[in-house]
């Protein structure tokens, strides 16, 4: 099939392109290179089955031209501002890059009769429900970040477009996704800070923020596994991992992998790393496990592998 991956040069998107190509699909990669990089897809450039468009998907006419030319069978919508902390001071980024991209993609799918969508949603749609085991039926979704709000708004759009245009939509709500090609977040930041100053590490919050981290190849495997399941309307899964990892544990793992001893941790204090951060949450994974998928790596293992990936990347 011909698969359009919007945000295909991004962190998760580029791994998805790899996996779709490995399954002999033609991939139409669309990216504006705001967060995605050419480096993430450089190994794919020049292949006959990989077509790249540098397009800002929040502009409908530009995106329409790609749909008109390529007529994809399936759209994987991975485009978003993925840096929640950054958009806290500029919500317009989420309006444009996270919500408007969804609206424009759905409008093009409606116009060109594309019947299959995968959408990368997030645990941030739930808001701060730290004492509830979150499942797909949890009520009262109250996002506390602009990112979570734009993703929940996108889910709402998908619901209506799916109903009105008979689009089959598969939606995963991810927790933190980590692995090779990661561009931001706590692991990335800590390694950067410790490279600058190996004796001291500033940690936002009290370090007890504890979240599940999923390894990117586990997630991509889930997308591939469920992408062709026939269903009507929208099918939603919490796609997560066993366990959760605290920010202090992440610091400990990084120090160990970097072979640093006696690093002084300086906590900025408070339960959250920044306003809009949800300090801890737990996912009920019964639905996706019952459907036949389970992550290979636990949260701690995912963190450990990602630290090694990142250090190896830096050494290259």
Q: Using CB under 8 A as the criterion, which residues of the chain lie in contact with a second copy when the complex forms? A: 88, 91-92, 95, 99-100, 103, 106-107, 110, 125, 127, 136-146, 148-150, 152-154, 156-157, 159-161, 163-164, 233-234, 275-276
Report, in Å, the least distance between residue 159 CB and a second copy.
5
Q: How far apart are CA 102 and CA 123, in angstroms?
A: 17
Rank residues 144 and 222 by Cβ distance to a second copy and give the closer one.
Answer: 144
Report, in Å, the least distance between residue 231 CB and a second copy.
14
Rank residues 267 and 274 by Cβ distance to a second copy and give the closer one.
Answer: 274
Report, in Å, the least distance between residue 315 CB and a second copy.
39
Rank residues 136 and 271 by Cβ distance to a second copy and give the closer one.
Answer: 136
Residue 249's closest CA among 178, 183, 301, 214?
A: 301
Report, in Å, the least distance between residue 291 CB and a second copy.
17
Rank residues 50 and 118 by Cβ distance to a second copy and give the closer one.
Answer: 118
Report, in Å, the least distance between residue 99 CB and a second copy.
7
Rank residues 49 and 142 by Cβ distance to a second copy and give the closer one.
Answer: 142
């Amino acid at each position: 099939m011909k698969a359009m991956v919007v945000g295909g040069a991004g962190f998760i998107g580029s791994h998805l392109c790899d996996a779709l190509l490995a399954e002999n699909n033609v991939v139409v990669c669309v990216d504006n290179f705001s967060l995605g990089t050419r480096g993430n897809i450089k190994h794919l450039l020049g292949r006959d089955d990989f077509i790249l468009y540098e397009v800002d998907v929040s502009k409908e006419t530009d995106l329409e031209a790609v749909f008109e030319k390529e007529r994809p069978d399936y759209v994987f919508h991975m485009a978003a501002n993925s840096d929640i902390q950054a958009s806290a001071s500029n919500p317009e980024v989420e309006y444009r890059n996270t919500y408007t991209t969804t609206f424009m993609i759905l409008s093009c799918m409606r116009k060109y009769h594309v019947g299959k969508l995968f959408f990368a949603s997030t645990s941030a749609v739930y808001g701060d429900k730290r004492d509830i085991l979150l499942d797909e039926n949890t009520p009262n979704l109250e996002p506390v970040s602009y990112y979570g709000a734009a993703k929940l708004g996108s889910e709402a759009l998908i619901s209506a477009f799916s109903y009105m245009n008979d689009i089959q939509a598969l939606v995963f709500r991810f927790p933190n996704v980590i692995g090779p090609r990661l561009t931001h977040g706590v692991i990335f930041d800590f390694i950067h800070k410790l490279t600058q100053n190996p004796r001291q590490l500033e940690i936002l919050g009290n370090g007890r923020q504890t979240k599940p981290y999923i390894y990117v190849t586990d997630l991509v495997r889930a997308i591939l596994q469920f992408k062709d399941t026939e269903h009507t309307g929208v099918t939603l899964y919490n796609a997560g991992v066993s366990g959760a990892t605290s920010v202090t544990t992440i610091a400990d793992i990084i120090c160990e992998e970097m072979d640093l001893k006696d690093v002084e941790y300086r906590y900025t204090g408070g339960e959250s790393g920044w306003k809009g951060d949800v300090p801890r949450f737990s996912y009920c994974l019964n639905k996706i496990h019952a459907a036949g998928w389970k992550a290979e790596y636990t949260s701690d293992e995912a963190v450990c592998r990602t630290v090694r990936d990142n250090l190896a990347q830096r050494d290259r």
